[in-house]
Amino acid sequence: MCTTRRFTLAALALSISSFNAAAATPNDTAPLGKLPRWAQPLAYQLDLRVDPQQSAYSGSATIDLELKQAADHLWLHGQDLSVGKVSLADSANHVHAAQYKVAAKKEGVATVEFGQTLPAGRYRMTLEYSAPFNQQLEGVYKVSSQGAPYVITQMEAISARYAFPGFDEPSFKTPFTLSLTVPESQVAVANTRQVAEQKLDKGWRKLSFAATKPLPTYLVAFAVGPWDVVGGPQIPATQWRAHATPLRGIAPHGEGERIKPALAQTPAIITALEDYFGLGYPFDKVDLLGAPDFAAGAMENPGLVTFRDYLMLQDANSPAQNVRSAFNINAHELAHQWFGDTVTMPWWDDLWLNEAFATWMQAKITQQLHPEYRADLGLISGANYAMQSDSLVSVRKIRQPITGNGDIGTAFDSITYEKGAAVLNMFERYLGADTFRQGVRAYIKQHQFASATADDLVSALAKASGKDQRFVKAMQSFLDQAGVPLVGTALSMENGKAVLHLKQQRYLPLGSSGDAQRLWGIPVCVRYSIAGGDARTQCELLDQAQGKMELPGATAGSWYMPNADAAGYYRFDMARDDLARLTSNLAQLPDTEQLAYADAVNAGFGRGDLDAAAVLAAAPRLAQSNTREVATALIPTLRWLAKYEVRSDAQRNRLTDLARTMYLPRLQQLGYQRRAGESQDDALLRAALAQFLALDVKLPEVRQALLLQGDKALEKNADGKLDLAAANPDLLRAVLSVAAQEQGTPAVDVLIKALGSTSEPAQRMAILSGLGAATASASAQRARNLALDPLVKVGEMSTLLRASREDGEGREALWKWFTLNHEQLIKRSGETSGGRLPDLVAGDSCSQSEADRLSAFFQPLLGQLPGADRGLAQTREKTLLCTALREKQDPAAILR
Ligand SMILES: [Zn+2]
């Protein structure tokens, strides 16, 4: 629905004085993208009455605003809101009645009509409204934990419009003053400290919170429920912040104790971030909240950071993976308090300024506080992961233009996060860490509590480093252009000097329809050996199709690594002899470069340059590394071979034997149970190896060992519940998956029953993975149906469905189930998650017919599901690339 206005032609003069009532009304239509600038919010006051026991809430939104020109209406956002009385008070306090009308229902655009032309100037607009608690984890939503209802918010990206009428666009940053009227039994928290409490009649009380610093709508947050509130250690004053800052944990009732580990690590993270930015933590308190159901992993609301429960609620029995993620994600969200919350992108095409920076900074802080977590390797693995997506023709750019609300939803992808972080890492290395930090500090200082774009950042970095347009263009070439550069290298001796010849093109996998001709400004850094066994590094900005680089001291027999420290966001393709020399010196390379080498093998296989035999030859070299990330770096390609390429018993035996030789002794050495005092990394390696050996290559001895734990875990203990703690928590997912596959229906039935009585989030995820993995069981259909059952939370649906598409049989069954149930599935998860739907139900497909049926099914739905067009294009392209790679394989290669 769309209201058009066609009175007088707009004068569009920006110099209209405040009381020039004769000026014309803008002649415009409902804005589906950015709102027009002639009406701007200055401050909000939200007074809401919230009772989690109800199904809706009500209240008022009072917005101080400025009309920059005379108008008889304004545009704003509101979705699924029932707005009643609307009034506008002018600066003389004359109150004008106005009317709220929905203008574009699907996009959540509305208009307020004044019934007359009002002059430019300042107004206070008050809208009384009510709204249902959202069922799809957006806006103000309701979930239950152990039978008790809770209300939580999630506004990013554009869900504040479900929560209150307003200008739901990140460039509009204003203070928000919130009051919550709640039943006396309920605890309420918000972005800022509570400043007043007023007892009301009939068991209600009104809590008022301090005005926030200027915030965009997507960062407004509050929560109401029977929360446990746990005091944490104060964050002591620092040279950047004169006062100690209070820290609290907010957990579902009875879970308060389990949020303490996360609280304990928080002050050190905040202090490390302050030291980097040279700016004190900018908000008045830190609350970390563990939400019983949540759409994403966590959300950086200033002062009230919300996390999915499994990240915040931990104890000695939590999976090592969750403990590790909890630290990383806490560091990520706290980095956002500066990147995103203090300085905000004006529009969603610059979302990377939030997410790439937080991802990159999270690694930096983690490396500083927990060097044993090897966040340096995490950053590289993340980049290698993003390169897979970045090889698609249908991929986004880091700064992808936004053409509709679907593009806002799909912007939260590996390109924005991991590629963005890798590009920052590359240019940090190019400029030097100190210079880079100087630029970042200047950028934050200049734009604090306001907005800034990519250009602002790049120019701050250029200024700090004294670099010219060549640097600016180089950085822009990665931000405004999709794809992974492939740098070809060949070393030759010329007049007694070692010269490395370079050329660049776009990396394209086998079967791609993309154009390889593309130019970036790539900071290429090469490490190479010189006589005497030492190594040197040489860097060059490669911004032409070809280039060369002298390697002083290198000889004809020198080895070189084309991506020193793996800091560059590019892949490489070495001359054959050069690669052979590098391979024989692999053990001398640092872990970072061994990961770059592994990526080169994966990439060469994806491009069709290397066959299965070459991958199987490279795998044992890497597998013997003592570093978990390196030892497991080729597992994705080995998994691909096991999944798509193994067609005969001989092939299966070859792959199984190789996997057994490479990894089983290691797993046996680690054992299947945790050992006292072992490192977290050992626990993670055990889990990765058990998962691969038991579920991907199906090694009988590993499955048997896990099954023993499964039998115990599925036994009922005295109070009739399963004894899930009998299994190693790090292996519980794999244990329940193997048990469900081996035992079939009886195990599936027991697990379904256990879902109703298990509230521990990590155990629930393991149960859902187990249920999803039981694709061959007669009860598999019942398991899939749970995705539509309230027993499974909305945020848990994807864990269940994803686990059920691991093998071909499961994919077929899932697809059939989806085509019959898609309407209910979309209804439950919400249309705005439609962008992820094609991958969720058809990811890992690998045939032309699967690609075709996917397109045929989703094409008619594209108008309904924002973002599904990109989701469909990417899933289809991945399917076709997989098909091409599969068809190219020589069945004999795996046996060589
Ligand atoms: Zn983030």
Query: Tell me: the pLDDT tens digits for 150-187?
Result: 999 999 999 999 999 999 999 999 999 999 999 999 99
CA 359 to ligand 1 center in whole angstroms: 7
Tokens linked to 563: 């991506």
| CA 325 to ligand 1 center in whole angstroms | 13
Q: How far is the CA of 677 from the centre of ligand 1 (A)?
A: 33
DSSP 246-257: -EEEEESTT-GG
Say how many Å lie between the CA of residue 342 and the centre of ligand 1: 14
Q: How far is the CA of 238 from the centre of ligand 1 (A)?
A: 25
* Ligand 1 centroid – CA 330 distance (Å): 10
Q: Give the residue carrying structure tokens 């996009």.
A: 107
pTM: 0.95
CA of 337 to the centre of ligand 1 (A): 10
**Distance, CA 796 to ligand 1 centroid (Å)?**
20
DSSP H or E segment with residue 388: helix 375-390
DSSP 258-279: GGHHHHHHHHHHHHHHHHHHTS
Residue 40 CA to ligand 1 centre (angstroms): 27
Q: Which residues of 712-845 form beta strands (DSSP E)?
A: none
Work out the number of other CB atoms within 10 angstroms of the CB of residue 171.
16
Residue 752: name the closest of 706, 699, 708, 791 by CA.
791
Contact yes or no for 46/61 (Cβ under 8 A)? yes
User: How many angstroms separate the alpha carbon of residue 569 from the centre of ligand 1?
Assistant: 20
**In contact, 155 and 217? CB cutoff 8 Å:** yes
Ligand 1 mean position to 833 CA, how many Å? Answer: 18
CB 421 within 8 A of CB 360: yes
Going from the Cα of 381 to the center of ligand 1, the distance in angstroms, rounded, reads 18
Residues 6+ apart with CB under 8 A from 516: 486, 505, 506, 508
Give residue 354 CA to ligand 1 midpoint distance, Å: 6
∠ Cα 608 614 619 (to 5°): 120
DSSP secondary structure letter of residue 54: S
| Ligand 1 centroid, distance to 688 Cα (angstroms) | 26
Residue 336 CA to ligand 1 centre (angstroms) = 7
State whether residue 182 is helix, strand or coil: strand
888, containing H or E segment: helix 868-888
User: How remote is the CA of residue 358 from the centroid of ligand 1, in Å?
Assistant: 6
Distance 382 CA to ligand 1 centre (A): 14
Please tell me the distance between residue 157's alpha carbon and the centre of ligand 1 in angstroms: 11
Q: In DSSP terms, which residues pair with 98 in a beta bridge?
A: 86
Contact 26, 71 (CB under 8 A): yes
User: Quick check: 190 and 232 in contact, CB under 8 A?
Assistant: no
CA of 334 to the centre of ligand 1 (A): 9
Alpha carbon of 379 to ligand 1 centroid (Å): 15
CA 530 to ligand 1 center in whole angstroms: 43
Question: What is the rounded distance in angstroms from the CA atom of residue 600 to the CA atom of residue 45?
Answer: 55
Spacing, Cα 333 to ligand 1 middle (Å): 6
CA of 357 to the centre of ligand 1 (A): 8
Instruction: Write the burial class of residue 55 (CB in 10 Å: 0-12 exposed, 13-18 middle, 19+ buried).
Output: exposed
Cα angle for residues 87, 91, 96 (degrees, 5° grid): 25
Q: Is-contact 731 709, C-beta < 8 A?
A: yes
Q: Where are the alpha helices (DSSP H) in 448-527?
A: 454-465, 469-479
Q: Report how far ligand 1's centroid is from the alpha carbon of 280 (Å).
A: 20
Q: Give backbone dihedrals phi and psi of 853, rounded to 5 degrees, phi first.
A: -70, -30
Ligand 1 centroid, distance to 351 Cα (angstroms):
9
CB 328 within 8 A of CB 288: no
Q: Locate tokens 């927990």: which residue?
A: 370
Q: Give the tens place of pLDDT for each residue, 598-642.
A: 999 999 999 999 999 999 999 999 999 999 999 999 999 999 999
What sign does the dihedral 638-643-648-653 (CA atoms) show? Answer: positive
SS3 at position 321:
helix
Å from CA of 306 to ligand 1 middle: 12
pLDDT attached to residue 807: 84
**559 alpha-carbon distance from chain centroid:** 38
What the block records as the tokens of 156 is 């990013």
How many Å apart are CA 618 and CA 636, to the nearest integer? 13
Please tell me the distance between residue 80's alpha carbon and the centre of ligand 1 in angstroms. Answer: 27
Strand-pairing partners, residue 388, are none
The Å distance, Cα 869 to ligand 1 centre, comes to: 24
Ligand 1 centroid to residue 69 C-alpha, Å? 37
Q: How far apart are the first and last CA of the chain?
A: 64
Ligand 1 centroid vs 375 CA: distance in angstroms? Answer: 16
How many Cα atoms sit within 13 Å of 663 on the Cβ side?
A: 32
Among residues 119, 36, 114, 115, which one has the least CA distance to residue 76? 36
- Cα 299 to ligand 1 centre (Å): 7
| Total residues belonging to the chain | 896
**DSSP secondary structure of 587-599:** GGS-HHHHHHHHH
> Which residue, among 240, 290, 281, 282, has the nearest Cα to 260 in the 3D structure?
290
The span from the CA of 587 to the CA of 627, in Å, is: 12
150 vs 156: CA distance, rounded Å: 19
User: What is the Å distance from ligand 1's center to 352 Cα?
Assistant: 9
The span from the CA of 835 to the CA of 507, in Å, is 25
Q: Specify the pLDDT at position 23.
A: 47
**Per-residue tokens: 345:** 């992108």
Compute the distance from residue 13 Cα to the ligand 1 centre, in Å: 40
Task: List the structure tokens of 652.
Answer: 């299966």
Alpha-carbon distances, residue 781 vs 551, 743, 811, 821 (angstroms): 62, 16, 12, 12
- The answer to whether residues 430 and 567 touch, using CB atoms and an 8 Å cutoff, is no
- What is the distance in A from the centroid of ligand 1 to the CA of 866? 21
Q: Whole-angstrom Cα distance, residue 626 to residue 865?
A: 46
Both structure tokens of 319: 């999976």
Q: Which helix (H) or strand (E) holds 499?
A: strand 497-506
Residue with tokens 């180089």: 474
Counting as low any pLDDT under 70, the low residues of the chain are 1-24
Report how far ligand 1's centroid is from the alpha carbon of 173 (Å): 19
